[in-house]
Amino acid sequence: MDLLAALSMIATKLGLTSDQVLLLYAFQKAWLGPGALRRVYVLVNAIIEKFDLNDDDALVSYGDQLVAKGVLDERLARLFSYGELTDAAPQAKATRPAEAVVADRFDSKA
């Protein structure tokens, strides 16, 4: 599964738009400026409320809580929480780095 397909699955399962899930991914990669951080804060709080996540426990990530609730699988939760997409099986063909694909998406909107 490629990065954009995985982000699309997260968007569908969490009820987010593609722009919202890309905003979260860009935040994890530290690609955002200060102006976008407020939007991320509001978006994360909406996810916390929608899925009744515990924000008091610093040892359990939101992704782990979404796995426990059956919303995301472990692979998507890792992408949601840490911005990492890992494949169990190596890909047979050479692909562009995920960061380049997402950067192209942002550049095309400018």
Spatial separation of the C-alpha atoms in residues 82 and 78, rounded to whole Å = 6
Q: What is the pLDDT of residue 104?
A: 64
- Asked if 20 and 11 count as a contact pair (C-beta separation under 8 A), the reply is yes
pTM: 0.71
Spatial separation of the C-alpha atoms in residues 106 and 110, rounded to whole Å = 7
Residue in the structure block whose two tokens are 């409320």: 49
Q: What is the pLDDT of residue 102?
A: 66
Per-residue pLDDT of the chain (110 residues; tens, 9 = 90+): 788 899 999 999 999 999 999 999 999 888 888 889 999 999 999 999 999 999 887 678 899 999 999 999 999 999 998 888 876 544 444 455 666 666 666 655 54
User: How many domains does the chain fold into?
Assistant: 1
Q: What is the pLDDT of residue 34?
A: 87
Residue 55 belongs to domain spanning: 3-109
Residue in the structure block whose two tokens are 């692979």: 75
Spatial separation of the C-alpha atoms in residues 85 and 87, rounded to whole Å = 7
